[in-house]
């Protein structure tokens, strides 16, 4: 393991340990508070929004997802196809949800694959520059690169609790900077990318 990968792994583990230590009731309350902040995220009717089904101690963004859907968004969730690729399958009311890799749930194979215009992105850690550490598999970096190759530039918002912030995420050439982070303290924007 390279020194940078080892440092990222350590930062990831520390941030996730802090997140895991948050009281369950507090995480639920903050997840609901973050859903109330959805009003600050502009959504046009029919806009495709990718989200994620929460696992472990992640922010439960289901209330946020459903608030965006109530404002006209079409929702989709990631589906892992193989060791390198995720696609985003449409999530509609009443559709079957199936077990996915990483201990999460998502739409079944017959759900349409959509290209998101707004991405709500899970993360393990982030810094004040918008650099993120994911869970280590690189799925989102590759999915975003694929969207860029298709000429798409989705708005990207990382989702985390404030305790997941670290002083500095080491940079790697393939890393995608997330220009916005939504946490319990609000929506923060980094740089001048918007």
Residue 9 dihedral angles phi and psi, to the nearest 5°: -60, -45
Annotated binding site for ATP: 8-12, 132-140
Annotated binding site: 8-12, 58, 132-140
Instruction: Name, in order, each residue with C-beta under 8 angstroms of 6's C-beta and a sequence gap of 6 or more.
Output: none
DSSP state of 158: E
State the Cα–Cα distance between residues 76 and 184, nearest whole angstrom: 23
Could you write out the three-class secondary structure of 69-101? HHCCCEEEEEEECCCCCEEEEEECCCCCEEECH
Which two tokens mark 41? 């995220």
Annotated binding site for substrate: 58
For residue 120, how many other CB atoms are within 10 A of its CB? Answer: 22
């Amino acid at each position: 393991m390279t020194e940078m990968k080892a440092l990222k792994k350590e930062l990831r583990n520390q941030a996730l340990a802090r997140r895991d230590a948050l009281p369950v009731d507090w995480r639920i309350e903050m997840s609901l508070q973050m859903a109330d902040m959805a009003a600050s995220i502009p959504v046009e009717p029919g806009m495709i929004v990718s989200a994620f089904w929460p696992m472990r101690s992640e922010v439960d963004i289901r209330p946020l997802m459903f608030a965006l859907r109530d404002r006209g968004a079409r929702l989709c969730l990631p589906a892992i196809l193989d060791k390198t690729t995720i696609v985003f399958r449409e999530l509609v009311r009443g559709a079957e949800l199936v077990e996915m890799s990483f201990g999460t749930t998502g739409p079944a194979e017959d759900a349409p694959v959509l290209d998101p215009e707004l991405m709500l992105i899970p993360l393990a850690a982030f810094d004040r520059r918008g650099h993120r550490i994911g869970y280590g598999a690189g799925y989102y970096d590759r999915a975003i690169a694929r969207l860029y190759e298709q000429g798409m530039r989705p708005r990207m918002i990382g989702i985390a609790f404030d305790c997941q912030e670290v002083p500095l995420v080491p940079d790697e050439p393939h890393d995608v900077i997330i220009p916005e982070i939504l946490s319990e303290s609000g929506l923060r924007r980094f740089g001048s990318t918007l």
